[in-house]
Structure 1
Amino acid sequence: MKFASTGLTALLLASVAVPASAETLRWARAGDALTLDPHAQNEGPTHTLNHQIYEPLVLRDEEGTLVPALATDWHVSEDNPNVWVFELREGVTFHDGAEFTADDVVFSLNRAMTEDSDMKELLSSVKEVRAADTYRVEIETEGPNPIMPANLTNMFIMDQEWAEANDAVEVQDYEGGEDTYAASNANGTGAYRLVSREADVRTVLEQNEEYWGADQFPMDVTRIEYTPIQNPATRVAALLSGEVDFIQDVPVQDLGRVSQAQGLEVETAPQNRTIFFGLNVGADDLQTDNIEGENPLANRQVREAMNLAINRDAIRQVVMRDQSIPAGVIAPPFVNGWTEELDQISTDVDRAKALMEEAGYGDGFSIQLDCPNDRYVNDEAICQAAVGMLAQIGITVNLDTKPKAQHFPLITGFTGDETDFYLVGWGVPTFDSAYIFDYLVHSRDEEYGSWNATGYSNPELDAKIEGLASETDLEARNQAIAEIWEVVQDETMYLPLHHQVLNWGMTDNIDVPVDPEDQPKFKRFALN
């Protein structure tokens, strides 16, 4: 465990808590941001830290509504339905004092479309980004794209001159282990500027005194001290003792202790995120099973058996302490395309055993399950529960857990043998099913499928997925989404588990609504 290796665990437990000043907020969560490069990783905690430093053109507020950020207005061009026009905020400067202009937007979006960017699927329909004026940007797409603004909420804008001066024009190759200047340094337009960064240990931010939105937000937090604390008990102990003021992921087993503690409170809300297992259905032979020369996961009956063997209600009650919503589809209810019919769950161990027999695997098989231990609520415990459930149908699961920094490259760096069976969670910042399809269902190529480690490939379905970006008839578009979901559900390359629930723990002087994206933006925090 990286945090323990620093010696901070003992320090947090043994030291006497010294309250922070009213303006300093000490923040902790299970895992750190993977990188500060704003386009290298499409991952929740990474975006959350970067949201304090960098800004996109548009944002979602706590109600899920698109609101202005670096763009003050956006509309489809009257002259060309394929062009979105963004009017930019004037008078904005980067942390080093450089002026923010349309050139920075063009540079940043072009950078985000390059091969090593984990954000490129969101811009896959873009034909050209151009500066129409100093404070006006045009994004031209291959055909009309009705949801383009929704694709930009985590698309951070960099200073072109800063990137060029610091050899940061290219996106960090995170999966390849590359380290770059932009991975540990930052220069954004956000409410907070980077003071220091020691990955997996501590990051310090201070308020940007020249922030354009200083009179629009509370801005009560002037300094942020961010400490990743992987161990749940240590994380809660830090909050209870006063070592930290705010934790994003209160362990479900400690909700009562925190909510009943004097001076603390817990804020709870459904999260726009679903947790599920992925299966390598595309390989001819798996690397981690005991079946030579074939892939048992390529058999649909085996996949259906595994799906029926997972007892989601038991996971909800025993592992999640009722802090989850059992799921039958890998889309949370926030998302356009989700339906109650898709989200039905079923557990039938007898039927699962019969399917294993019919598939020719009555004697079962063994396989490795790759699981993170510092990313999702009780992620390792969820995987441990699944080990026992799958054993009931003859599948021996060898569990391999590791920090997310080592786990995610198994998925995003997939070439056929990195992972056969894995846990992952997926949030949907666009609130639209196309985001799920682009990343998780479309065949992996240069523009799509960067998180599709299943090896699943269906060219006909790919074409339908790509068509969603330019379909302006919403009724026809929603019908296409429903048809894609029908195929995904039938193929069962993913085993949905549950929709995650947010539990933020904090001192009771903090006033902030819970963000369903699990992305607190500290400029909005009011300290009473």
Structure 2
Amino acid sequence: MTTLPSRFRAALLGAAALLGLGAAPLGAQTLSMGVSAPPASIDPQYYTLTPSIMLSAHMFEGLTRRDENARIRPALAESWRLVDDTTWEFTLRQGVRFHNGEALTAEDVAYSIRRVPTVQSPSSFAVYTRAITGMEVVDDRTIRLKTASPYPLLPNDLSQIFIIPRSLGENVASAAFNSDQVAIGTGPFRFVRYAPNDRVEMVRNDAYWGDKPEWEKVDYRIITNNGPRVAALLSGDVAMIDNVPTPDIAKLRSDNRVTLVEGTSLRLIFLGLDVFRDGATPDITGPDGEALARNPLQDRRVREALSIAINRPAIAQRVMEGAAVPAGQFMPEGAFGYEPAIPVPAYDVNRARALLAEAGYPKGFTVTLRGPNDRYVNDAQILQVVAQMWTRIGVRTQVDAQPLATLIGRLSRNEASAYLLGWSNSLGEPSTSLRAILGTRAPEKGLGLSNYGRYSNPEMDRLTAQGLATLDEGERERLHRQAMKLAMEDVAIVPLHTQKSVWGLRRGLTYTPRVDEQTVATEVRSAR
């Protein structure tokens, strides 16, 4: 692992102190950022986790990229076109070089795409490459990607696949990316050092092909605890933070040292349920703790009861302090794929109790609700409030809040019955949730990779696949709206709310809010 010389560390601290003196000076060279969630790895192909992806976006690039509204833009590919219904051709930019000086070629693209499914991951990027059935390197700047059937979303999907140099070799391990000898991309910043759960240090790539970022150095600090993160902003220890805690929003709005930037995200917070097991499910027992021979969650009436027992507006207003919108589906209103015919489930305690009785559980049952305590806005508090609401209808609920990494390990081993997670359709349309969260689990096809409740609906899968093979955008949206409606009517998951994103910055800095919630140094600028 590369270490910084003492004079470089001193420069970082000195610039951070300058940023703390109120307005950031126009010549400020170091940006110190406080982010609320750690990356899972420096390897940009390891884990489809937003904190990992947004860190990777500083150092690595895809053929395409998403702008702040999730629209697809050129990146390493300057253009792309359909050669025929099943062949996409991408033309690379001229003159792009990796951080080690090597020229980017189509062979690097082919190498990067081939590596994705070989990476051992809790949630693989293979969901974005599975449609590719063949690759042809035409010349150094041209690559053709084949699909088995028409697949209009390939340019969208490839915004998630970061390109690395083929000189790294065929068996490069994810852990090796903790070194600047391996963490090599083409992005606007170069990797310097990673201290797990503490910080990542980067320097500007002055040979970058695109617009140069304002900052010469970035001190990317991981501050998971809300209180210290806000304190770091107010003290000037960092110049910006993400995920401003909801109880602090009003106070920070009135603080003349701070500017808040807000925007509605594409992230749904939801509850997943084990709908797969016929027999006992690990976290559910009878009302008095006795073993149950069958899994109550397989009954749709039980799932609906759990859903309508939740007062979503109360969570949005009281727990989230208005930084959330109650939801009944993955896409927010106004987004591509939003289905107006899907309602936000209405809070109805009496009907919830009646549904439980009708399903054969008049006295309810006991369940452990699991979820993270370090990932989503107010995640641990939301778990407690849902537990109280479920308990009111006779479903006695205990909460197990734990670090996300621990939770994902448990979910991957199928050791949970009910859990809270979030999912961002950051491509700006619903296909990723239809495939990864709701799709029948089929890892060999890149489907259901984050479907920990193992929900399966063949008709929904059919509509999803049909939409993914439809080149007409309007028809694709119609099919995917229909697929989402089927899954939500089946209570495949229990939607809670769409998160709003709130960033806090020192006065004198501006930030462009992103619907994908990402916090990236390239979008932080001194106010002019």
TM-score if structure 1 supplies the norm length?
0.90
Deviations 1:242-292 (A, max 9, x none): 111111110011012222223211001111111110001111221111142
Q: Which amino acid aligns with 1:490?
A: E
Q: For residues 306 and 512 of structure 1, do their structure 2 counterparts lie closer, same or farther at Cα, with a shift above 3 Å needed?
A: same
* Structure 2 portions without partners, runs of 5+: 1-15, 20-26, 286-290
Aligned equivalents of 2:117 and 2:41: distance in 1? 18
**Matched-pair contact (CA < 8 Å) for 2:329–2:342:** yes
**Matched-pair contact (CA < 8 Å) for 1:73–1:87:** yes
Question: Does 2:318 align with 1:324?
Answer: no
Q: CA deviation at 1:418?
A: 2.0
Q: Which amino acid aligns with 1:232?
A: N
Listed as ranges, the matches of 1:91-170 within 5 Å are 91-114=95-118, 116=120, 118-164=124-170, 167-168=171-172
Q: Which amino acid aligns with 2:391?
A: A
Aligned equivalents of 1:100 and 1:334: distance in 2? 38
Superposition misfits of 4+ residues, deviation over 6 angstroms: none
Aligned equivalents of 1:477 and 1:205: distance in 2? 41
Q: Secondary structure at the match of 1:315?
A: helix
**Matched-pair contact (CA < 8 Å) for 2:45–2:119:** no
Question: Does 2:79 align with 1:73?
Answer: yes
Aligned equivalents of 2:408 and 2:94: distance in 1? 38
Aligned equivalents of 2:464 and 2:261: distance in 1? 37
Deviations 1:331-371 (A, max 9, x none): 23364221232143310000001111111111111111111
Listed as ranges, the matches of 1:465-504 within 5 Å are 465-504=464-503
Question: Does 2:460 align with 1:454?
Answer: no
Deviations 1:95-116 (A, max 9, x none): 1111111011111112223473
**Matched-pair contact (CA < 8 Å) for 1:277–1:422:** yes
Q: For residues 113 and 336 of structure 1, do their structure 2 counterparts lie closer, same or farther at Cα, with a shift above 3 Å needed?
A: farther
Aligned equivalents of 1:29 and 1:461: distance in 2? 37
**Matched-pair contact (CA < 8 Å) for 1:109–1:129:** no
Task: Tell me which residue corresponds to 1:222.
Answer: 216
Q: Which amino acid aligns with 2:96?
A: V
Task: Tell me which residue corresponds to 1:13.
Answer: none
**Matched-pair contact (CA < 8 Å) for 2:70–2:427:** no
Task: Tell me which residue corresponds to 1:286.
Answer: 281
Q: For residues 256 and 478 of structure 1, do their structure 2 counterparts lie closer, same or farther at Cα, with a shift above 3 Å needed?
A: closer
Q: CA deviation at 1:475?
A: 4.3
Q: Which amino acid aligns with 1:355?
A: L
Listed as ranges, the matches of 1:18-417 within 5 Å are 18-20=17-19, 22-77=28-83, 80-114=84-118, 116=120, 118-164=124-170, 167-168=171-172, 172=174, 180-182=175-177, 186-213=183-210, 216-217=211-212, 219-284=213-278, 285-290=280-285, 291-333=291-333, 335-411=335-411, 413-414=412-413, 417=414
Task: Tell me which residue corresponds to 2:12.
Answer: none
Which of 423, 433, 436 is matched with 1:426 structurally? 423
Q: Secondary structure at the match of 2:434?
A: helix
Q: Which amino acid aligns with 2:264?
A: P
Aligned equivalents of 2:105 and 2:206: distance in 1? 20
Aligned equivalents of 1:341 and 1:459: distance in 2? 21
Task: Tell me which residue corresponds to 1:12.
Answer: none
Amino-acid identity (%): 31
**Matched-pair contact (CA < 8 Å) for 2:190–2:204:** yes
**Matched-pair contact (CA < 8 Å) for 1:252–1:321:** yes
Aligned equivalents of 1:48 and 1:140: distance in 2? 28
Q: Secondary structure at the match of 1:113?
A: helix
Aligned equivalents of 2:370 and 2:237: distance in 1? 33
Deviations 1:219-241 (A, max 9, x none): 11111112211211111111111
Aligned equivalents of 1:343 and 1:40: distance in 2? 36
Q: Secondary structure at the match of 1:153?
A: helix
**Matched-pair contact (CA < 8 Å) for 2:307–2:345:** no
Deviations 1:414-448 (A, max 9, x none): 4xx32211111111122222211110111111221
**Matched-pair contact (CA < 8 Å) for 1:330–1:494:** no
Q: CA deviation at 1:54?
A: 0.5
Aligned equivalents of 1:64 and 1:353: distance in 2? 41
Stretch of structure 1 that moved more, 295-304 or 396-405: 396-405
Task: Tell me which residue corresponds to 2:518.
Answer: 519
Aligned equivalents of 2:79 and 2:495: distance in 1? 38
Q: Which amino acid aligns with 1:30?
A: S
Aligned equivalents of 1:317 and 1:293: distance in 2? 39
**Matched-pair contact (CA < 8 Å) for 1:142–1:470:** no
Q: How many residues align?
A: 493
Q: Which amino acid aligns with 1:424?
A: L
**Matched-pair contact (CA < 8 Å) for 1:19–1:243:** no
Stretch of structure 1 that moved more, 342-351 or 192-201: 342-351
* Structure 1 portions without partners, runs of 5+: 1-16, 173-179
Q: For residues 30 and 524 of structure 1, do their structure 2 counterparts lie closer, same or farther at Cα, with a shift above 3 Å needed?
A: closer
Task: Tell me which residue corresponds to 1:175.
Answer: none
Aligned equivalents of 1:201 and 1:64: distance in 2? 29
**Matched-pair contact (CA < 8 Å) for 1:276–1:494:** yes
**Matched-pair contact (CA < 8 Å) for 1:335–1:428:** no
Q: Which amino acid aligns with 2:136?
A: R
